[in-house]
Amino acid sequence: MEDPFVITISREFASLGRTIAQTLSDKLGIEFWDRDIVEAAAKRTGHSVSLVSDEEERAKSSFFLRKNYRMSLTTYNISDEIFETEKNIILDAASKGSCIIVGRCGDYILRDFPNRLSVYIYAPYEARLKNCIETLMMDEKTARRMIREVDMARTYYQRKYCPEVRSPRDSSDLMIDSSRFGVEGTADVIVQALRLLPERNC
């Protein structure tokens, strides 16, 4: 593509969204942002990487969902500060050149970006359970707990920071079951969809 473009990837836990993003990055020869956003946010705010990571997870945790009324205003401010900083990092990355953004409400943050493809990656529960056990090396009990808690956390995070998005259908151009196509196949489908964007020529 001659003009810069951005792919945003939202995903269910253990649908292999991050691995697919890495594969896309290799296929397209563009940068992908995931944990790099945490490091950049730490640099901009002056907080440690561990604090930014902890607060990001706290904002998404199921504990926060149940107990947020007990948390201090300071914690709220730090979480909101980190989100705003990460939002600016995402906007800056998209403005500088073609890239892939994983999670962190990237689809909503970049909703007005002209050359954007928003992708939601999902998979049936049993496929995600298998990925947890065979790829992420979890025992079955831990896998089931992680699927439940991370899905809940991501839903809460989205409702907190982009409340207009009620479901993936509200902000996705493409929704794809990664268990049907595998990592490589899913990445290939996304590349094909990218080529079909108006006035795009890969």
8 Å CB contact between 191 and 109: no
Q: What is the pLDDT of residue 74?
A: 44
Q: What is the pLDDT of residue 60?
A: 65
pLDDT of residue 119 exceeding 80, the answer is yes
78 versus 108: which is more confidently predicted?
Answer: 108
Residue 143: which residues within 8 A CB-CB, separation 6 or more? 14, 129, 132, 133, 136
The per-residue pLDDT for range 142-153, each reduced to its tens digit, is 999 999 999 988
Alpha carbons 16 and 182: distance in angstroms, whole number: 9
pTM of the model: 0.88
Cα–Cα distances (Å) from 81 to 85, 99, 154, in that order, read: 6, 24, 18
What number is the average pLDDT over the span 97-110?
A: 96
pLDDT of residue 202 exceeding 70, the answer is no
8 Å CB contact between 6 and 116: yes
What number is the average pLDDT over the span 172-191?
A: 98
pLDDT of residue 31 exceeding 90, the answer is yes
198 versus 151: which is more confidently predicted?
Answer: 151
Q: What is the pLDDT of residue 64?
A: 47
What number is the average pLDDT over the span 49-56?
A: 84
Q: What is the pLDDT of residue 61?
A: 57
What number is the average pLDDT over the span 160-186?
A: 94
Residue 167 sits at φ, ψ, to 5 deg, of: -155, 165
What's the mean pLDDT when you consider all of the chain? 89
The per-residue pLDDT for range 55-80, each reduced to its tens digit, is 777 666 544 444 444 444 444 578 89
What number is the average pLDDT over the span 86-103?
A: 97
